[in-house]
Amino acid sequence: MARAILKFIRVSPIKARLIAREVQGMNAEYAIASLQFTPNKAAGIISKVIASAVANSGLDPVDAVITSARVDKGPVLKRFTPRARGSASPKHKPTAHIMIEVAASTKGDK
């Protein structure tokens, strides 16, 4: 089992978790191919982390299965936008930590 971790990435963890749940348990090659056509910022990022985890394992993408895809909340960047009459509104820019674990597939996996 091998893993890859990407920390402090500027993507909402709530939105990234939706993509991570889709690929969990999938074949790595199939997951990378399906994420290529997913119109989401997190899909491209998670695809690269999957490729890194497969490279760390030393397996071919055909022989690897994603055993765990986890997206944790990172620190929030707090910024302010100027508003009318000298006031300001807060803007929260969330970050996420993405962790992907891959393992060698058994013959029954698809």
pTM, to two decimals: 0.90
CATH assignment, 2-104: 3.90.470.10
Q: How far is CA 104 from the centre of its chain?
A: 20
Q: Report whether 104 contacts 22 (CB < 8 A).
A: no
Amino acid letter, 62: V
Question: What confidence tens digit (pLDDT) does each residue in 74-98 have?
Answer: 999 999 999 999 999 999 999 999 9
Question: What confidence tens digit (pLDDT) does each residue in 44-80 have?
Answer: 999 999 999 999 999 999 999 999 999 999 999 999 9
Kindly list the distances between the CA atom of residue 12 and the CA atoms of 17, 18, 37, 53, in Å, as whole numbers in the listed order: 9, 10, 20, 21
- Would you list the domain boundaries of the chain? 2-104
Rounded to whole angstroms, the Cα distance separating 5 from 12 reads 16
Q: How far is CA 29 from the centre of its chain?
A: 15
